[in-house]
């Protein structure tokens, strides 16, 4: 249903006429972007005083580790039970027709499986070396506990409305949870989180996706200006989120899981074809994690890159998944937490690792034959690659070096992943937006039009400025969300212990 | 001994024929009817975030619509014929759900209409009547 035809037409005209007016706009947008958001990026990625270690990475590592220890390695203890929940063993047949655990998991996953898994991992490995993979896996495993915490809270403190819809997420557990514990500042944190969530929805959930989708299209089909991809994607996103063409989103949602399966399967085939290299790859991964083998920043550089890209990809501790999961009706908040802890596992430990292994095994990183050390590129910013590519193009090179036509499949996968991530993030951003400004047709339309505008900006901008801002915005969400999780984690522990006790006593039973 | 006959009913002509048959049987033997209306649903399909949010409301609406538009007029008609009847609305795989209902209700038989399609789609995906004939826990009457 389109309720504001004039406004929409005007916005469409801006989207179309703006880029067409200036050919050099790609560069202009990038320059403008770098100068306007540079200070924000600088704060988020500033180092601990006197070191080269970004404080935000320490922040994420500390958070994930604390949750893991506090909940007694719940991600390993509850792993099997989580899979049984997703399989539907504990679902009451009388609740059929409601959102199942499987659907909650796949919907949240389609928001996180995106270009972070394909392009972000390539960035991590080309800067941090194979060792970054090790830290990425560690971050993925630890992140499972963070995801568990935030999603349990998201369900517990959501708002349920008379018409049967629900709204939830960090904004709501900050306000209601803090009030319950008698801790002040919940509202302030909720507002801050909502602001960062909106920025994150424009950044990592949108511009980064559009940017890397364009990069892969030009990588395969040849170069053309970024705004063209941007406008086309913006129009499709516009049709879905404003025009109400739900069928496009539904189709994407159905194709994406198969694309993800195809991606993992192809990676496994390539790894199998080079089975003699598996040992070497793993020794490079383990050695690189602890030693300085020519990567930027040494072993610490590998750790930084691994954690950074893992957090960017699986969004554990960021708070976005709490928004997605809170819409699910369930009597037990803990079950949503358990289901959600599978997300970092699938996203990072499985899919991201596949990307990294394919890049390493196919020998995309150039090393010095004499010393075995990786060579840096001329600028010294990353490891030299065979083709000189980075980001999604590097992943594409790695896959097509073994299966030449896979680059075309990857284009389709990348565009679909980007699209489904954008649709998810438009939802997260909108929830934050309505939390701040209230619900209403016009207010929501303003957000949606802004969202479409940033699709164009993202596609037209160069990798550097966009990746930096995208990271910074997503991590800014974690800066607010993680302290809230610290304050509220005793509540989660109480819920979890009660659930586990009832599971053990047989009060919670399998159906059939 | 009076027992129950489960009728699969979706408002189609074939379902109407099945119901007529079941009513005549119930009339003769003094059985009661259980009208089962199954909404096809898989917990393993994929949804968008906004579909997830709206799901509960949609489900409530769908069940209300089925009750008022399909089942309520039907119940009145069957009761008027002097036959005892209860109705069930369930979500799930149609044939599997029918079997579960037959077991739960301790039914004597299942009556179901068939559409008579013998095309490629029916061969590929199977039909409800065909599946029931193979897996139902009680005798199945397939009304042509």
What is the rounded CA–CA span in Å between residue A40 and residue A46?
10
According to DSSP, the residues that pair with A160 across neighbouring strands are: A166
Cβ–Cβ below 8 Å for B48 and A166:
no
Domain total in chain B: 1
Cβ count within 10 A of residue A258: 12
For residue A230, the SS3 value is: helix
Whether A140 shows a pLDDT value over 80: the answer reads: yes
- Return residues 42-61 of B near A (CB < 8 Å): 43-57, 59-60
Q: Residue A19's pLDDT is what? A: 44
Alpha helices in A168-319 (DSSP H): 170-172, 178-181, 186-202, 208-221, 226-241, 246-273, 278-290, 298-314
User: By CB neighbour count within 10 A (0-12 exposed, 13-18 middle, 19+ buried), where does A301 fall?
Assistant: buried
A151 vs B122: which has the higher pLDDT: A151
Provide the domain count of chain A. 1
- For residue A256, give the nearest of A117, A156, A143, A85 by alpha carbon: A117
* Torsion (CA) A167, A171, A176, A178 in degrees, nearest 10: 160
Closest-CA distance of chain A to residue B27, Å: 31
Cβ count near B79 (within 10 Å): 11
Whole-angstrom Cα distance, residue A431 to residue A367?
Answer: 47
Q: What is the pLDDT of residues A169-193, one digit of tens each?
A: 999 999 999 999 999 999 999 999 9
Q: Which residue of A has its CA nearest to B96?
A: A93
Residue B125 half-sphere exposure toward CB, CA atoms < 13 A: 9
Cα four-point dihedral sign A25, A211, A130, A399: negative
Predicted confidence (pLDDT) per residue in A364-397, tens digit: 888 877 777 788 887 777 888 888 888 888 999 9
Looking up residue B136, the CATH number of its domain turns out to be 3.40.50.620
pLDDT score at A497 = 96
CA within 13 Å, CB half, A44? 21
A chain contacts of residue B54, beta-carbon cutoff 8 Å: 165
pLDDT at A118 over 60: yes
A47 in any annotated domain: no
pLDDT exceeds cutoff 90 at A327: no
Grade residue A247 by pLDDT with cuts at 50, 70 and 90.
confident
A92 within a domain of the structure (yes/no): yes
Would the pLDDT of A422 be above 80?
A: yes
Q: How confident is the model at residue A195 (pLDDT cuts 50, 70, 90)?
A: very high
Tokens, residue B86: 């209860």
The verdict on a CB contact (< 8 Å) between A102 and B44 is yes
The Cα–Cα gap between B110 and B130 comes to 13
- State yes or no: pLDDT of B43 exceeds 90: no
The model's confidence at residue A20, banded by pLDDT at 50, 70 and 90, is: very low
Q: What is the mean pLDDT of residues A473-491?
A: 94
Percentage of chain B modeled with pLDDT above 90: 31
Chain B CB contacts of A104 under 8 Å are 52
Residue A426 forms part of a structural domain: yes
Residue A127's domain comprises 55-505
- In whole angstroms, give the CA distance from residue B44 to residue A121: 29
Facing residue for B53 by CB, picked from A166, A253, A254? A166
Q: Nearest by CB to B46, which of A96, A98, A257?
A: A257
Least trusted range by pLDDT, from A10-14, A32-36, A199-203: A10-14
Specify the residue for token string 């999780």: A485
Q: Is residue A5 part of a domain?
A: no
Query: Does the pLDDT at position A470 exceed 90?
Result: no
pLDDT at res. A500: 95
Whether B49 and A423 lie within 8 Å, measured CB to CB: yes
Range of the domain at B118: 4-143
Does residue A192 sit within a domain? yes
B40 in A contact zone (CB under 8 Å): no
Q: What is the mean pLDDT of residues A147-166?
A: 90
- Please report whether residue A49 resides in a domain: no
Whether the pLDDT of residue A15 is over 70: the answer is no
Residue A301: inside a domain, yes or no?
yes
**What is the value of ipTM here, to two decimals?**
0.84
**pLDDT (average), residues A452-457:** 91
What integer pLDDT is reported at residue B47 of this predicted model?
A: 85
Of A90-94, A431-435, A452-456, B120-124, the one with minimum mean pLDDT is: B120-124
For strand A166-167 and strand A159-160, is the pairing parallel, antiparallel, or unpaired?
Answer: antiparallel
Give me the CATH number covering residue A103: 1.20.1740.10
Cα separation of A458 and A231, whole Å?
Answer: 10
In the three-class reduction of DSSP (H, G, I as helix; E, B as strand; rest coil), residue B86 is classed as strand
Percent of chain A scored above 90 by pLDDT?
46
Mean pLDDT of all residues in B28-46: 88
Provide the β-strand partners of residue B87. Answer: B35
pLDDT above 60 (res A291): yes
Q: Which residue has the higher pLDDT, A58 or B125?
A: A58
Instruction: Please compute the mean of the pLDDT values over residues A32-42 and round it to a whole number.
Output: 83
Q: Which residue in B36, B38, B40, B46 has the most chain A C-beta atoms within 10 A of its own C-beta, making it the best mutation to test that interface?
A: B46
Q: Is A78 left (phi over 0), alpha (psi -120 to 50) or beta?
A: alpha
B75 and A CB contact within 8 Å: no
User: What is the b/e burial string over A375-395, where b = at least 16 CB atoms within 10 angstroms of the residue's CB?
Assistant: ebeeeeebbbbeeebbbbbbb
Is there a domain that residue A189 lies in?
yes
């Amino acid at each position: 249903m389109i309720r504001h035809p004039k406004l929409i037409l005007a916005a469409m005209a801006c989207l179309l006429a703006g880029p067409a007016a200036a050919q050099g706009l790609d560069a202009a947008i990038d320059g403008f972007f770098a100068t306007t958001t540079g200070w924000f990026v600088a704060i988020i990625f500033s180092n601990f005083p006197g070191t080269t270690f970004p404080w935000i990475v320490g922040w994420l590592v500390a958070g994930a580790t604390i949750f893991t220890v506090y909940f007694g390695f719940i991600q390993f203890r509850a792993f099997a039970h989580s899979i049984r929940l997703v399989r539907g063993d504990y679902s009451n047949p009388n609740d059929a027709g409601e959102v199942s655990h499987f659907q909650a998991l796949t919907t949240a996953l389609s928001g996180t499986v995106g270009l972070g898994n394909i392009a972000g991992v390539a960035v991590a490995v080309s800067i941090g070396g194979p060792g970054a993979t090790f830290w990425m896996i560690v971050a993925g495993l630890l992140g499972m506990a963070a995801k568990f915490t935030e999603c349990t809270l998201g369900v517990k403190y959501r708002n349920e409305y008379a018409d049967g819809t629900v709204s939830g997420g960090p904004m709501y557990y900050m306000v209601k949870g803090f009030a319950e514990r008698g801790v002040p500042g919940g509202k302030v944190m909720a507002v801050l989180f909502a602001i960062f969530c909106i920025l994150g929805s424009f950044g990592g959930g949108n511009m980064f996706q559009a940017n890397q989708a364009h990069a892969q299209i030009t990588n395969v089909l040849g170069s053309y200006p970024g705004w063209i991809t941007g406008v086309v994607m913006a129009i499709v996103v516009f049709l879905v989120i404003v025009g109400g063409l739900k069928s496009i989103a539904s189709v994407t949602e159905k194709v994406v899981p198969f694309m993800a399966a195809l991606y993992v399967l192809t990676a496994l085939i390539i790894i199998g074809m080079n089975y003699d290299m598996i040992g070497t790859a793993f020794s490079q991964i383990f050695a690189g994690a602890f030693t300085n083998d020519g990567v930027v920043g040494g072993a610490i550089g590998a750790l930084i890159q691994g954690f950074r890209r893992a957090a960017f990809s699986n969004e554990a501790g960021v708070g976005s998944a709490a928004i997605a999961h809170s819409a699910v009706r369930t009597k037990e908040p803990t079950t949503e937490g358990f289901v959600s802890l599978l997300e970092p596992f699938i996203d990072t430990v499985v899919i991201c690792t596949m990307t990294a292994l394919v890049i390493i095994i196919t020998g995309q990183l150039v090393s010095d034959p004499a010393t075995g050390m990786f060579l840096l590129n001329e600028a010294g910013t990353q490891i030299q690659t065979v083709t000189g590519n980075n980001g999604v193009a590097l992943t594409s090179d790695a896959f097509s070096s073994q299966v030449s036509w896979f680059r075309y499949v990857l284009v389709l996968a990348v565009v679909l992943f980007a699209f489904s991530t954008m649709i998810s993030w438009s939802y997260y951003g909108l929830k934050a937006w309505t939390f701040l400004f209230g619900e209403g047709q016009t207010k929501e339309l303003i957000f949606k039009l802004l969202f479409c505008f940033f699709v164009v900006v993202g596609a037209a901008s160069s990798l550097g400025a966009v990746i930096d801002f995208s990271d910074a915005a997503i991590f800014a969400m974690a800066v607010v969300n993680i302290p809230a999780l610290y304050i509220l984690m005793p509540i989660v522990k109480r819920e979890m212990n009660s659930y586990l006790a009832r599971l053990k006593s047989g009060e919670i039973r399998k159906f059939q | 001994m009076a027992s129950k006959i489960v009728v699969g009913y979706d408002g189609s002509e074939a379902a109407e024929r099945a119901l007529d048959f079941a009513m005549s049987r119930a009339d003769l033997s003094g059985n009661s009817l259980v009208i089962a209306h199954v909404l096809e649903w898989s917990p393993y399909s994929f949804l968008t975030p906004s579909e997830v949010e709206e799901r509960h409301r949609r489900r409530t609406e769908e069940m209300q619509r089925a009750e008022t538009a399909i089942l309520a007029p039907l119940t009145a008609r069957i009761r008027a014929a002097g036959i005892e009847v209860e109705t069930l609305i369930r979500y799930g795989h149609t044939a599997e759900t029918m079997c579960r209902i037959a077991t739960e209700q301790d039914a004597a038989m299942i009556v179901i209409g068939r559409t008579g399609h013998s095309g490629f789609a029916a061969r590929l995906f199977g039909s409800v009547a065909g599946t029931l004939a193979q897996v139902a826990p009680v005798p199945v009457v397939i009304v042509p």
